[in-house]
Amino acid sequence: MTNLYIGTRANFNDINNALGRSVSRLNQSMSETLRTIAMKQGIKKTEQRARLEFYSVTKDEMDKLCDDKHQMLETLKGNQPLRPLIAVDADKMIKGINETNSRYNRRMDYATHRKYKVELEQAVEDAVVKIGEDLNTRKKAERHTHDYAVGDWISIYGDYGYFRGNARITRVTKSSYWYEMAGIYGDRFHNYENAVRMFNGVTGHSYGQEWDFTIPYAGNEEAFTFSEPQMARARKYNPSKVEPGYRSERIER
């Protein structure tokens, strides 16, 4: 490898300080593809709330960061060891990106984009090499509670702020709760204009390829369906309560 990216849980400032220069960070879209590949090699996308990030470095800089003596020195200084976990051959990665992009237009529907992402992952997989292990040093788990009651509605988000949808609470204990995801006629519903035409009291907006609207539960009960209940444990920050309704959101990031 000549042009390199390393995958580490270190933040932007820590790696800049360790190398004494401003380091380039890979964009989040491509980083997510690399995280998926790294996960197949035993490196989690997120470990103890620290996301795997990718930074452009030289071969000498990577060797320095991987050196045990350097890691020990950083620890003695009171700094967070950087621990490179993944090495990426940038030239191979860029070649794979270009070859995949050449087969697709920039504007893609959902199904085509999913196919593109799979092919992109396959095209750059050989560029990704595991070079380290997470320490997995875990603190004693804190016990948290919540203030939910059966019948409350909450908003559910996935990794990295991805909005999954609204859900209804079906069962509670002191430290756990069960929720069922709301759907419309057994599926997702993403067309704002059709929602306004078909349902009562729809609020929100739609601008081109972005939208954010809510179909209220009251007055539209016959259209609502719910998934099998899922259990979740209370956390320090629990999902926010919301008004009963199905919400659809798409924001370009």
Lowest mean pLDDT across 11-25, 115-129, 216-230:
11-25
Q: What is the pLDDT of residue 90?
A: 94
For residue 66, what pLDDT is reported? 84
- Model confidence pLDDT, tens digit, residues 189-235: 999 999 999 999 999 999 888 999 999 999 999 999 999 999 999 99
Q: Mean pLDDT score of the chain, rounded to an integer?
A: 90
Highest averaged pLDDT of the listed ranges 105-109, 133-137, 204-208, 225-229: 225-229
Say what the pLDDT of residue 83 is: 83
Q: Annotate 197-246 with DSSP letters as a single string.
A: HHSSS-EEEEETTEEEEEEESTT-GGGEEEPPPEEEE--SSPPPEE-SEE
Residue 77 confidence (pLDDT): 65
Query: Quick one: average pLDDT of 88-103?
Result: 95
pLDDT at 21 over 60: yes
Position 107 scores a pLDDT of 87
CA distances from 157 to 112, 124, 164, 179, 192 (A): 24, 28, 5, 13, 21
More confident residue, 79 or 52: 52
Q: What is the pLDDT of residues 70-95, one digit of tens each?
A: 777 666 666 666 789 999 999 999 99
Place of tokens 């920039």: 106
Q: Which residue has the higher pLDDT, 123 or 158?
A: 123
140 has pLDDT over 70: no
Enumerate the domain spans of the chain. Answer: 4-130, 153-250
Output 56-63 pairs: Cβ under 8 A, ≥24 positions apart.
Answer: 56/3, 56/4, 56/5, 56/23, 56/24, 56/25, 56/26, 56/90, 57/4, 57/5, 57/6, 57/19, 57/23, 58/4, 59/1, 59/2, 59/4, 61/19, 62/4, 62/6, 62/87
- Is the pLDDT assigned to residue 181 strictly greater than 90? yes
User: Is the model more confident about 200 or about 138?
Assistant: 200
Q: pLDDT tens for residues 143-179?
A: 899 999 999 999 999 887 789 999 999 999 999 999 9
Q: What is the mean predicted confidence (pLDDT) over 105-121? A: 91
pLDDT confidence of residue 81: 63
Q: Which of 85-94, 104-113, 131-140 is the least confident region?
A: 131-140
